Amino acid sequence: MARVVVDVMLKPEILDPQGQAVQRALPRLGFDGISDVRQGKRFELEVDGPVDEAALARIHDLAESFLANTVIEDFTVRVESDDVVAEAVK
Amino acid sequence: MTARIGVVTFPGSLDDRDTQRAIRLAGAEPVVLWHKDKDLKQVDAVVLPGGFSYGDYLRAGAIARFSPVMGALIEQAKAGLPVLGICNGFQLLTEAHLLPGAMLGNDHLHFICRDQKLRVENAETAWTSDYTVGQEISIPLKNMDGRYVADEYTLDKLEAEGQVAFRYLVRGEAAEGYGNPNGSLRDIAGITNEAGNVVGLMPHPEHATESLIGTGRTDGLPFFTSILKKLVTA
């Protein structure tokens, strides 16, 4: 089993009111020294078969056309190492 | 024969019935379209109604955008078919890239529901010809994700090309429906594509078509009489 992780974040110039609300709550909870919080989305895709270049290219297309709206969001695609996946499955 | 205007129902649409009613009140024939339809039943125009298609999961309109009916709709809208997107329909049109920009959560993070004052900025689209430029109208607004955003270049282009169709009226008392209700850039409430056949807006004209209910005014009715006139005289 292979896992591919797609992280989606609002572009830096886009206002993130949810992140701001989280940031404003931090001092109340005793967390100081955090000047900004931005909230994003993480997708974990369990891929059947090998994660080769072709599979990654297809996932990239999927992220670009569906998981992220590139008008407002940036995304990254990465393969999670087998060790991390095995640890998580345990 | 009068014009046939399709209204698409997605899983989670809420205002499809009200939209059909508004179309009938204007004198046209509403045609029920289902999200799984692969063709548009030869309608003369389409309205994408408000609601929460697919629960707004992922992003508002993001999943509905890939419904079977959207394939035919996108193709025909590009060829000139008049399409109006209201609220969730507007979100859907931006997700389908038939209109530029995108919709995000209201800047105050709350759902908002109120009568909203708007100014008509473009009275030459297929859906706004029965208004006059500068006309001030009041129609209901109700949404969670109503914040219109686009990059500066796109915003400048929209302004320069007259593609801002409606703007929120910001000078006045909030209790009377004035103010930017969601943080939309440049107070944009609705836009049109370059050709003027595709229009999207967050407020709900279909809820302001009878004097008995809603705002007590019929400020939303001209959307439906505009398109009827265009189709009947075409």
pLDDT tens-digit map of B179-210:
999 999 999 999 999 999 999 999 999 999 99
Q: Check CB contact of B59 with chain A, cutoff 8 Å.
A: yes
The residue in chain A having the minimum alpha-carbon distance to the alpha carbon of residue B108 is A17
pLDDT at B217: 86
Whether A18 and B105 lie within 8 Å, measured CB to CB: yes
Task: List, for residues B7-64, the tens digit of each pLDDT value.
Answer: 999 999 999 999 999 999 999 999 999 999 999 999 999 999 999 999 999 999 999 9
pLDDT at B142: 96
**Count of the separate structural domains present in chain B:** 1
Q: Looking at chain B, which runs of residues are DSSP E strands?
A: 4-9, 29-34, 45-48, 83-86, 102-104, 112-120, 136-143, 147-149, 164-168, 188-192, 198-201
User: Within the 40-69 window of chain A, which residues sit less than 8 Å (CB to CB) from chain B?
Assistant: 66-67, 69
What is the average pLDDT value for chain B, to the nearest integer? 96
Nearest Cβ partner for A17 among B95, B102, B107:
B107
Active site residue B206: yes
Q: How many whole angstroms separate alpha carbon B131 and alpha carbon B116?
A: 17
Task: Report helix, strand or coil for B178.
Answer: coil
CATH number of the domain at B217, please: 3.40.50.880
Q: Print burial letters for A34-73: b (CB count within 10 Å at least 16), e (below 16).
A: eeeeeeeeebebeeeeebeeebeeebeebbeebbbbebbb
Whether B102 and A72 lie within 8 Å, measured CB to CB: yes
Q: Check CB contact of A5 with chain B, cutoff 8 Å.
A: no
pLDDT at A89: 53
**Count of the separate structural domains present in chain A:** 1
pLDDT at A6: 98
Query: Best residue in A13, A24, A71 to probe B by mutation, most B CBs within 10 Å?
Result: A71
- Domain holding A52, by residue range, is 2-89
Catalytic residue among B29, B95, B97, B206: B206
Q: ipTM value of the model?
A: 0.87
Q: Check CB contact of A89 with chain B, cutoff 8 Å.
A: no
For residue B46, give every residue at least 6 positions away whose Cβ sits within 8 Å of its Cβ, in sequence order, or none: B5, B6, B7, B8, B33, B40, B73, B77, B81, B82, B83, B84
Query: Best residue in B59, B147, B151, B152 to probe A by mutation, most A CBs within 10 Å?
Result: B59
For residue B62, give every residue at least 6 positions away whose Cβ sits within 8 Å of its Cβ, in sequence order, or none: A66, A69, B54, B95
User: Within the 65-84 window of chain B, which residues sit less than 8 Å (CB to CB) from chain A?
Assistant: 66
Q: Check CB contact of A32 with chain B, cutoff 8 Å.
A: no
pLDDT at B233: 83
The CA distance from A81 to the nearest CA of chain B, in Å, is: 26
Catalytic residue among B87, B95, B121, B207: B87
Query: Best residue in A15, A20, A45 to probe B by mutation, most B CBs within 10 Å?
Result: A15
Task: List, for residues B153-171, the tens digit of each pLDDT value.
Answer: 999 999 999 999 999 999 9
Q: Does residue A90 surpass a pLDDT of 60?
A: no
pTM: 0.93
- Domain holding B71, by residue range, is 4-233
Dihedral pair phi/psi, residue B198, rounded to 5°: -110, 120
For the record, the structure tokens of B27 come out as: 């004198």
Active site residue B210: no
Nearest Cα residue to B115 out of B19, B205, B192: B205
CATH number of the domain at A29, please: 3.30.1280.10
Tally of CA atoms within 13 A in the half-sphere of B23 that contains its CB: 27
